[in-house]
Amino acid sequence: MYTIFVTGTAGSGKSLLTSNLLEWYNNNDVTPISINLDPGVVNLPYSPDVDVRDFIDIYSIMENYNLGPNGSLILANDLISTKLTEIQNQADELNPDYIIVDTPGQIELFVFRSSGPYFISNFLSDNKVTLFTMDGTLAESPINYVSLMFLSQSVKLRLNTPQINVLTKRDKIIDKLKEVFEWSNSISSLQNSLNEEKNYEQSLLSKDLIKTLFKSGHITNPIAISNITMNGMINLSATLSRLFTQGEEGRKNNLGM
Ligand SMILES: Nc1nc2c(ncn2[C@@H]2O[C@H](COP(=O)(O)OP(=O)(O)O)[C@@H](O)[C@H]2O)c(=O)[nH]1
Ligand SMILES: [Mg+2]
């Protein structure tokens, strides 16, 4: 059983990607299930097999604790880890090959508080991977691109799982795609684009920051996908398979099998 945690900023395409991955695996003769971990979501583009909203009700929290919508959302997110056993049991009962976990809309409430990292590290699965979805329409300037790459590394620091960067909405940035890939492939290309930015201080800071990322090999080509045309899904599923299989071989080697 492999688990894919779909993370990313609000509106970056996590839920739609969850829905597409479910369809993708269903069409490829394996059994996927979905878990919705967002207690505050109203509409989803798929029907979750396991749903945190069955255990945490945002409206009862508002009433019981006399909280407004924001406070209630924070508390609801903090409570996710307390429902780990129930969610794990429901998922295990379905005996899936793949579990795709759609995480809460507001990344800071999940990844940057204790509940999310606790849930991910204690969820039992043969292998786990995090997808970090980067909204392609936000990656259009080199400074934004650098800030997204830093956010991705920040998520990796918090979650401590293998991670794949996924650039969503490629259908909206077709003209820009080549340049974005050049930024990931060569520091000089990114530096050249940063040199052309009007704001000198931001440009300088970005150039200082990317030196660290490139030096440690942490800027890699994101996988560009469109959740609308499905372009890029083959690449994403191949990368996921590779990562899961490598993990398995690594484990076997460790166990001396
Ligand atoms: N054009 C385009 N729109 C997308 C894509 N992925 C998501 N969207 C749209 O972006 C909005 C937010 O998507 P959603 O999956 O709810 O984001 P979430 O908040 O990260 O779960 C929705 O209106 C989606 O239809 C994509 O690849 N291309
Ligand atoms: Mg969502």
Give the CATH number of the domain where residue 66 resides. Answer: 3.40.50.300
**Residue among 102, 227, 235 whose CB has most ligand 1 atoms within 8 A, to mutate:** 227
For residue 123 the two structure tokens come to 């969820």
76 in a structural domain:
yes
Closest ligand 1 atom, residue 18 Cα: 15
Asked if residue 13 has its Cβ within 6 Å of ligand 1, the reply is yes
Helix H, strand E, coil C: the string for 94-130 is CCCCEEEEECCCCHHHHCCCCHHHHHHHHCCCCEEEE
DSSP secondary structure code for residue 14 in this structure: H
Total domain count, the chain: 1
Q: Cα(203) to centroid of ligand 1, in Å?
A: 29
For the chain, first and last CA: distance in Å? 19
201 in a structural domain:
no
Predicted TM-score of the model (pTM): 0.94
In terms of Cβ atoms closer than 10 Å to its own Cβ (0-12, 13-18, 19+), residue 8 is buried
57 in a structural domain:
yes
Domain range spanning residue 66? Answer: 1-125
The torsion of the CA quartet 197, 200, 202, 208, rounded to 10 degrees, works out to: 100
241 φ, ψ to 5°?
-60, -45
68 in a structural domain:
yes
147 in a structural domain:
no
For residue 215 the two structure tokens come to 């030096």
Ligand nearest to the CA of 40: 2
Q: In this structure, are residues 36 and 50 in contact, taking their beta carbons and an 8 Å threshold?
A: yes
Q: Cα(135) to centroid of ligand 2, in Å?
A: 13
- Helix (H) / strand (E) containing 182: helix 177-185
For residue 115 the two structure tokens come to 């509940």
| pLDDT in single tens digits along all 257 residues of the chain | 999 999 999 999 999 999 999 999 999 989 999 999 999 999 999 999 999 999 999 999 999 999 999 999 999 999 999 999 999 999 999 999 999 999 998 999 999 999 999 999 999 999 999 999 999 999 989 999 999 999 999 999 999 999 999 999 999 999 999 999 999 888 899 999 999 999 999 999 999 988 888 887 777 789 999 999 999 999 999 999 999 887 655 555 544 33
27 in a structural domain:
yes
65 in a structural domain:
yes
